[in-house]
Amino acid sequence: MASNKKLLVLPGDGIGPEVVRETLRVVDWMAKKRSVSFDVQEGLVGGAAYDASGTPLTDETLADAVDADAVLFGAVGGPKYDDLPFEKKPERGLLRLRKEMDLFANLRPAMVFASMADNSSLKRDLVAGLDIMILRELTGGVYFCEPRGIEDLPGGGKRGFDTQAYSTPEIERIGRVAFDLARKRRNKVTSVEKANVMMSGVLWRQVMTDLHKREGEGLEYENMYADNCAMQLVRNPKQFDVIVTDNLFGDILSDCAAMLTGSLGMLPSASLGAEDPTTGRRHALYEPVHGSAPDIAGRGIANPIAELLSFAMLLRYSFDMGEDADLVEKAIDNVLSSGLRTADIMQEGKAKVSTGVMTDSILKELDKLVSG
Ligand SMILES: NC(=O)c1ccc[n+]([C@@H]2O[C@H](COP(=O)([O-])OP(=O)(O)OC[C@H]3O[C@@H](n4cnc5c(N)ncnc54)[C@H](O)[C@@H]3O)[C@@H](O)[C@H]2O)c1
Ligand SMILES: CC(C)[C@H](C(=O)O)[C@@H](O)C(=O)O
Ligand SMILES: [Mg+2]
């Protein structure tokens, strides 16, 4: 039984603190019922950090994140911060964490729970039992490449520009994660880019195809253009197992995949760094795919499931507590099957509950599951 796992909790803004608060109740439950002791420390990020210290991520919080065994993150951003200069925006705090912790592999699983097939944007048969993994490269591409900026044009007006670039080592390291994941799943990898339009896409396709030839034995492999992938995700999502793609396409395709599961409020994620070969340790941050949802913040109606499932991923990937992760997922599955729904996944014939009541029910279900 492991003990004293250092957990840094960064609730952030909007519904971030609301869903993190609920997740901390499950952390407490784990400590009481499963005899795991978490050393929980809380910090500020995003707009909350800007309000307190004039920056969306202080060096101290970054150091705490690097030092932690895992970071549990809520969400950042909101209209209050719209007019801040680019580098001060809440989202920059999250991006700096990802970059400085070298969290290059972002796992975004889209799973449809047994009772949720009718909640999907697609017809039930297309999504019942769906379980796909979008693997998003998280520390490269247009999110981070230089040069970028807005410049004046000689004849008046301005020009805004960004740079998209990927190197062979960046593509290979995310490709290897995709192959590892696929081997534990259904042995299929779809690599997604736009090699028909972008030079970085041309290299991505070459490197991934070669990597598959060298290291992908036993794996079914295909290349797909990103626009086609978006269409295929809503046409026939069950054709996919692992989708590996760049930072920007991964951002967009994962929001799209969220609606297959019923709501953005259902999609968790794990952002992982490379494993240190001597200590076996790796940096990791867990966060829902959704944002701070300013339109519903402060009303107690946010769906806590994406954050709770992110905590389950934390147990599985950072603490090797797969059984406990299964338990959390099973409790969520059972509560959804019992007909409870937060507003975002509400349907006729179901019972609408608040953020807090959804968590109350999941905790009760956890109690039931462990008492047999
Ligand atoms: N990881 C992050 O911190 C993160 C991710 C995405 C967006 N953002 C930021 O969040 C702010 C709002 O962005 P947005 O509105 O484009 O995206 P969003 O994900 O916050 O919200 C999109 C829609 O989904 C709904 N939604 C999201 N999560 C939900 C939940 N748990 N339960 C119920 N409904 C939920 C919202 O109410 C909204 O209608 C922006 O500042 C954006 O940059 C942050
Ligand atoms: C908030 C923003 C920087 C972030 C991203 O674009 O990566 C978000 O949309 C996400 O999906 O995690
Ligand atoms: Mg996003």
Render each residue's pLDDT in the chain as its tens digit; 372 residues: 445 899 999 999 999 999 999 999 999 999 999 988 899 999 999 999 999 999 999 999 999 999 999 999 999 999 999 999 999 999 999 999 999 999 999 999 999 999 999 988 899 999 999 999 999 999 999 999 999 999 999 999 999 999 999 999 999 999 999 999 999 999 999 999 999 999 999 999 999 999 999 999 999 999 999 999 999 999 999 999 999 999 999 999 999 999 999 999 999 999 999 999 998 899 999 999 999 999 999 999 999 999 999 999 999 999 999 999 999 999 999 999 999 999 999 999 999 999 999 999 999 999 999 997
Dihedral of CA atoms 124, 128, 333, 107 in degrees, nearest 10, equals -120
Query: What is the number of the ligand closest to the CA of 264?
Result: 1
- Given a contact cutoff of 8 angstroms between Cβ atoms, the answer to whether 77 and 91 are in contact is yes
- Catalytic, 102? Answer no
Which secondary structure element, helix H or strand E, spans residue 310, and what is its range?
helix 305-318
Specify the CATH number of the domain 1-104+273-372. 3.40.718.10
Determine the distance separating the centroid of ligand 2 and the alpha carbon of 251, expressed in angstroms: 7
86 annotated binding-site participant: yes
117 annotated binding-site participant: no
Determine the distance separating the centroid of ligand 3 and the alpha carbon of 240, expressed in angstroms: 20
- Given a contact cutoff of 8 angstroms between Cβ atoms, the answer to whether 47 and 12 are in contact is yes
Which residue type, as a one-letter code, is found at position 256? C
Structure tokens given for 33: 């019922």
Mutate to test the pocket of ligand 1, among 22, 89, 264 (most ligand atoms within 8 A of CB): 264
Please tell me whether the peptide bond between 79 and the residue prior to it is cis, using omega within 30 degrees of 0.
no
CA distance 291 to 313: 18
Determine the distance separating the centroid of ligand 2 and the alpha carbon of 205, expressed in angstroms: 24
- Which residue's CA is the closest to the ligand 2 atom numbered 3? 91
Which residue type, as a one-letter code, is found at position 335? V
Pocket of ligand 2 (CB under 6 A): 77, 91, 94-95, 251, 289, 291
* Angle in degrees, CA 110, 7, 14, rounded to 5: 60
Determine the distance separating the centroid of ligand 3 and the alpha carbon of 214, expressed in angstroms: 32
- Catalytic, 194? Answer yes
Helix (H, G, I), strand (E, B) or coil at 342: coil
Q: Is the pTM of this model over 0.95?
A: yes
Helix (H, G, I), strand (E, B) or coil at 166: coil
The closest of 335, 292, 258, 362 to 20, measured between CA atoms, is 292
The ranges of the chain annotated as CATH 3.40.718.10 are 1-104+273-372, 112-262
φ/ψ (deg, to 5) at 161? -145, 150
Q: Which pLDDT score is estimated for 2?
A: 46
Tell me the CB-side half-sphere exposure of residue 151, using CA atoms within 13 A. Answer: 8
Pocket of ligand 1 (CB under 6 A): 15, 19, 75-78, 91, 94, 264-265, 287, 290-296, 302-303, 306, 344
φ/ψ (deg, to 5) at 358? -60, -45
CA distance 135 to 133: 6
- Given a contact cutoff of 8 angstroms between Cβ atoms, the answer to whether 139 and 100 are in contact is no
- Which residue's CA is the closest to the ligand 1 atom numbered 5? 291
How many C-beta atoms lie closer than 10 Å to residue 123's C-beta?
Answer: 10
Query: Domain 112-262 has what CATH class?
Result: alpha beta
Would the ipTM clear 0.95, i.e. be above it? yes
79 annotated binding-site participant: yes
74 annotated binding-site participant: no
